[in-house]
Amino acid sequence: MDNDRIMGTRFLLSKDREKLLKMLGQMGESVEHMILMALRCLQERDDSLAHQVIRNDDIVDEHEIEIEQECLRIIGVRHPVREELRFFFSILKIITDLERMADESCNIAKHALILNREPLLKPLIDIPKMASACVEMLRDTLSSFENNDPELAKKVFLQDQEVDTLYDQITDELFMIIGKEGTSSENRARRAALLQMVARNLERIGDHAANISERSFFMSTGKQIKKELPPCRKET
């Protein structure tokens, strides 16, 4: 009877895991949509899209609350142990990173509402590259967690370097623009500072995706990814 009860609990935990992974995927899709829409409102200079991004933050917050409540309910009812418990705690940490990605997307939209009132300071070249890399990292890191894929988690973690490099390039270029003299230097500096903040928001999104990859790697291997790779990613 005890064995039957244990097997029944394991079956229910498997079903709970599937449900949570589905909910996590939905939250990830909402965050991805916000990142892409935040970039579009800047590229297309569309204030209505910016406002939509800001409104959608509530949707992501609702996802976070629902997943958190479901995790706590399962822990209270099923009493998971060891790796099972580690899975639920990993979910709780991952949704925090996803929620912060959504916050960074909102910040981009808010910057766009100001930037859209002025002519573009420079072509948006590296910023869309950063956004595309962040979206790819987001997709891959959630896939690595869902499919228990430590190699994909390592790929995401290392890809954060590419985002950081793009951020440094954008920052250097904008500092050069700010340093140029001219009658409109104050206006130029303000727009450059806002673009730099957009790049910083994207850089932070990349950091959060890398954080999830660390948890995914640990979930798969029980090891810390920073100890398995050469020291190359800056601490955040």
Tens of pLDDT, residue by residue over 168-184, are 999 998 888 777 654 45
Report the alpha-carbon distance of residue 221 to residue 184 in Å, rounded: 55
pTM, to two decimals: 0.90
For residue 155, give the amino acid letter.
Answer: K
Q: Is 203 exposed, middle or buried (0-12, 13-18, 19+ CB in 10 A)?
A: buried
What is the pLDDT at residue 191?
Answer: 87
> Domain-by-domain residue ranges, the chain?
2-228
Q: Using a pLDDT cut of 90, give the percent of the chain over it.
A: 69
Confidence of residue 5 (pLDDT cuts 50, 70, 90): very low
For residue 94, give the amino acid letter.
Answer: I
Confidence of residue 129 (pLDDT cuts 50, 70, 90): very high
Q: Is 218 exposed, middle or buried (0-12, 13-18, 19+ CB in 10 A)?
A: middle
The yes-or-no verdict on residue 8 having pLDDT over 70 is no
pLDDT per residue as tens digits for the range 45-103: 999 999 999 999 999 999 999 999 999 999 888 887 877 888 999 999 999 999 999 99
> CATH for 2-228?
1.20.58.220
Asked whether 34 and 99 are in contact (CB, 8 A), the reply is no
Residue reference for tokens 């930037």? 115
